[in-house]
Amino acid sequence: MSYTRPVYINSKKTVAEGRRISATKACENPTCIEIGDCCSYLKIPFAIELDKAYPRDFMQRGRVRVQLKREDGSLWNSEIDSSKDHDIQSLLHSALSYSLFIKQLMLRIAELIPKHHGRTKKQEPVNTSTAAGPSKSGKGGRKKK
């Protein structure tokens, strides 16, 4: 099992604050629910743990437990494994190649989160309410003595 936290793929965070992928490939303010939905889309077993806090920042709540490999060592989703890494992975120790799989998963999730149905629905109402125009200001009243 591997853990993925929203801060690992948050473009608003620095590497010192916990981001693990490049800021250009990361997404803005992901949530555990969105990460879980992306794992579901990729057909990877996962469990969301909302009661867990991030040690560097206790206000960051939640993590997603992800199972990348089956018991026999094969990947749950071969889409995560990139073909250019096969030669490198054959030379590396299994723990190091496992960390490469985790990074590939984080990159794939960061690609999927901006397309998440919750993000597209959130943006539509904001645009329609601002298009309605400014609201009228109230009538100026007299001061009471």
Q: Give the distance between the most distant pair of CA atoms in the chain.
A: 85
Per-residue confidence (pLDDT) for residue 124, from 0 to 100: 57
More confident residue, 129 or 72: 72
pLDDT band at 143 (very low <50, low <70, confident <90, very high): confident
Task: Please state the rounded mean pLDDT for residues 115-136.
Answer: 64
Instruction: Name the token pair of 84.
Output: 């250019």
Given a contact cutoff of 8 angstroms between Cβ atoms, the answer to whether 81 and 75 are in contact is yes
Tally the residues of the chain: 145
Given a contact cutoff of 8 angstroms between Cβ atoms, the answer to whether 68 and 106 are in contact is no
Share of the chain above pLDDT 70, in %: 65
Q: Is the pLDDT of residue 13 over 80?
A: yes
Per-residue confidence (pLDDT) for residue 88, from 0 to 100: 47
pLDDT tens per residue across span 38-55: 888 888 888 998 888 888
Q: Is the pLDDT of residue 73 over 70?
A: no
Q: Is the pLDDT of residue 133 over 60?
A: no
More confident residue, 33 or 58: 33
In our burial notation (b when 16+ CB lie closer than 10 A, e otherwise), range 59-94 reads ebebbbbbebeeeeeeebbeebbeeeeeeebeeeee
Identify the structural domains of the chain with CATH numbers, from first to last.
2-117 (3.30.56.30)
Task: Please state the rounded mean pLDDT for residues 63-83.
Answer: 68
